[in-house]
């Protein structure tokens, strides 16, 4: 999960009391949007119906759990957030929220979301949510983020769990469909983030965070983008042949994958000189395509589910 | 001394307190709603009852079936005697 909110570069130190908005900002609302959307699709495309109120509570728990892990991440990363321009106005470095408050909110909401999801749905969904929070806050934030340039690959797994949790809420299990939805987001995250890293001037280096563009160079990053895009295409198309896929999904997936693969290939072909010459136009375009890519796949899955539910067969 | 002393901190924390109040009301609503959904979703009357420190023969396995059988036998006997 990556929050690419572009905060103002001038630090604004706040000295007053934290307001609800400051606490809400701790929960990384932009990341929560992706989590809620993919979790909801995972829930709705499952072959088992869920009571609408239970479904609402489940999605709320997934969102709160994601927000809790965001708060724990901000608590742990307060030192590097204070160094980087993009994050210097986050609630803790700006002084709006105390680190201890962020820890307390993150820990409390983690327990709350997992327990409520267990009571509302089932142990597997709650267990997956607990693992997601643990993975993002401990495995990614505390351990791997500062120790390996593959951090974004591993961190992407935390953002990939929500559709799997949504599926588990409905079915009580894990299946090839939910694993492929997980894999779709997991494989999409690295090329999406690295495309961004190629055109945004980052100060991760100043903060001591090893990003691929800085540890292995921009050429290696271009190679990695293409290397992750190829298996991503296979996963995306493979999903179309499961029970939640169908002709509409496959048509959308083929179009989006050709579009995104072409963008990744164009990035791979370029040199840094080409990129600087046109102000990273291809990288920016491919980053934008990556947003449509993920959204388009999940909307297509939703359309297929809607058609199945209403008995509308295309073929 | 007035019963309600307006302090500066009340004004300063008004937004936070209102937010916490709304969250608590929302929490009550969620727990109530879940309770209603879960209870209405029960299909077996025995799932609505649990041990509550008094003898509850109807909670014994097969008790309902036995009671229904006894009622049927009784109805049959009454019919025969008439």
Query: What is the distance between the alpha carbons of residues A191 and B62, in angstroms, rounded to a whole number?
Result: 60
**When comparing pLDDT for A277 and B52, which is higher?**
A277
Task: Provide the sign of the torsion angle of the four alpha carbons A219, A222, A228, A230, taken in this order.
Answer: negative
Mean pLDDT of B53-74: 79
Q: Taking the model in full, what pTM does it have?
A: 0.83
* Best mutation target, A16, A51, A97, to test chain B (most B CBs within 10 A): A51
Alpha carbon separation from A33 to A23, A27, A122, B26 (Å, rounded): 17, 11, 23, 20
Query: Does the distance separating the beta carbons of B16 and A17 come in below 8 Å?
Result: yes
Alpha-carbon gap: A56 to the closest alpha carbon of chain B (Å): 10
Q: Residue B43, CB half-sphere, CA atoms under 13 Å: how many?
A: 0
Residue B53 clears pLDDT 80, i.e. is over it: no
How many C-beta atoms lie closer than 10 Å to residue A312's C-beta?
A: 9
* Residue B45 binned pLDDT confidence (cut-offs 50, 70, 90): low
How many residues comprise chain B?
82
Contacts of A51 in chain B (CB under 8 A): 37, 41
User: Which residue in A78, A95, A72, A80 sits closest to A11, CA to CA?
Assistant: A95
Say which residues have a Cβ less than 8 Å from residue A67's Cβ, sequence separation at least 6. Answer: A26, A27, A28, A29, A32, A109
Residues of chain A in contact with residue B13, where contact means CB-CB under 8 angstroms, are 17
Residues of B in contact with A118 (CB under 8 A): none
Mutate which: A15, A25, A54, vs B, most B CBs within 10 A: A54
pLDDT value of position A9 = 47
pLDDT of residue A297: 97
What is the distance in angstroms between the Cα of A45 and the nearest Cα belonging to chain B?
22
Going from the first residue of chain A to its last (315 residues), give the mean pLDDT of each consecutive group of 10, the final group possibly shorter.
Answer: 48 64 90 93 95 96 96 94 87 92 96 97 97 94 88 88 97 96 96 89 77 86 94 96 95 97 94 87 94 96 93 67
Instruction: Tell which of B37, B39, B40, B42 to mutate to test the A interface (max A CBs under 10 Å).
Output: B37
Query: How far away is chain A from the Cα of B16, in angstroms, using its nearest Cα?
Result: 6
Q: Is B30 on the interface with A (CB under 8 A)?
A: yes
- CA A200 vs. chain centroid, Å, equals 18
Contacts of B12 in chain A (CB under 8 A): 16-17
Exposed/middle/buried for residue A294 (C-beta within 10 Å: 0-12, 13-18, 19+): buried
Q: How many helices (H) and strands (E) does chain A have?
A: 14, 0
Find, among A296, A301, A270, the residue nearest to A188 by Cα.
Answer: A296
Residue A90 has a pLDDT of 92
Query: A8, A4, A120, A146: which is closest to A64 by C-alpha?
Result: A120
| b/e code B1-31 from CB counts within 10 Å (16+ = b) | eeeeeeeeeeeebeeeeebeeeeeeeeeebe
In chain A, what residues touch B33 (CB-CB under 8 Å)? 53, 57
The pLDDT score that the predictor gives to residue A1 is: 47
In this structure, are residues A129 and A113 in contact, taking their beta carbons and an 8 Å threshold? yes
Nearest to A294 by CA among A140, A216, A167, A190: A190
Which residues, 6 or more positions from A60, have their beta carbon under 8 angstroms from its beta carbon? B30
A52 touches chain B (CB under 8 A): no
Residue B57 confidence (pLDDT) above 70? no
pLDDT of residue B46: 63
With 50 as the cut, is the pLDDT of residue B56 above it? yes
Task: List C-alpha distances in Å: B35 to A131, A298, B69.
Answer: 26, 32, 33
B37 touches chain A (CB under 8 A): yes
Residue B51's pLDDT band (boundaries 50, 70, 90)? low
CA distances from A207 to A80, A86, A123, A193, A210 (A): 5, 12, 39, 18, 9
Count chain A–chain B contacts defined by CB atoms under 8 A: 25
**Is B15's CB within 8 Å of A60's CB?**
no
- Closest-CA residue of B relative to A60 is B30
Q: Which of A104, A89, A30 is nearest to A63 (CA)?
A: A30
The structural domains of chain B, with segments of one domain joined by +, span 19-81
Tell whether B8 lies on the interface with A, counting CB pairs under 8 A. Answer: no
């Amino acid at each position: 999960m990556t929050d690419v909110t572009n905060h103002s570069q001038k630090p604004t130190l706040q000295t007053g009391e934290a307001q609800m908005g400051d606490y809400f900002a701790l929960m990384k609302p932009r990341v929560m949007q992706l989590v809620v959307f993919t979790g909801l699709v995972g829930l709705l495309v499952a072959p088992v119906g869920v009571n609408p109120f239970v479904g609402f509570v489940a999605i709320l728990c997934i969102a709160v759990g994601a927000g809790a892990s965001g708060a724990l991440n901000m608590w742990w990363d307060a030192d590097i957030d204070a160094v980087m321009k993009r994050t210097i106005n986050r609630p803790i470095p700006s002084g709006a929220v105390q680190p201890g408050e962020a820890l307390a909110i993150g820990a409390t909401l983690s327990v709350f979301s997992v327990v409520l999801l267990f009571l509302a749905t089932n142990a597997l969904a709650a267990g997956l949510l607990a693992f997601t929070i643990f993975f993002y806050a401990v495995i990614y934030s505390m351990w791997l983020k500062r120790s390996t340039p593959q951090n974004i690959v591993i961190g992407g797994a935390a953002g990939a769990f929500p559709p799997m949790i949504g599926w588990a809420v409905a079915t009580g299990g894990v299946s090839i469909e939910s694993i492929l939805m997980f894999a779709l987001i997991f494989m999409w995250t690295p090329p999406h983030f690295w495309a961004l890293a190629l055109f945004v001037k980052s100060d991760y280096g100043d903060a001591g965070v090893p990003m691929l563009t800085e540890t292995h160079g921009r050429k290696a990053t271009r190679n990695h983008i293409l290397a992750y895009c190829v298996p991503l295409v296979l996963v995306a198309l493979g999903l179309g042949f499961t029970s939640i896929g169908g002709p509409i999904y496959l048509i959308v997936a083929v179009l989006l994958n050709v579009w995104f693969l072409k963008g990744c290939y164009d990035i791979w072909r370029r040199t840094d000189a080409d990129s600087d010459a046109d102000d990273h136009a291809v990288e920016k375009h491919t980053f934008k395509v990556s947003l449509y890519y993920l959204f388009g796949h999940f909307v297509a899955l939703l359309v297929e589910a809607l058609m199945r539910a209403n008995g509308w067969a295309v073929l | 001394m007035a019963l309600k002393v307006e302090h500066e901190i009340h004004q300063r924390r008004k937004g936070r307190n209102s937010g916490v109040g709304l969250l608590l009301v929302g929490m009550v609503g969620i727990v109530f709603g879940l309770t209603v959904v879960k209870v209405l979703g029960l299909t077996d009357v025995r799932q609505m009852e649990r041990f509550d420190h008094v003898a509850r023969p109807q909670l014994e396995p097969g008790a309902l079936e036995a009671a229904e059988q006894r009622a049927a036998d009784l109805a049959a006997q009454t019919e025969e005697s008439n």
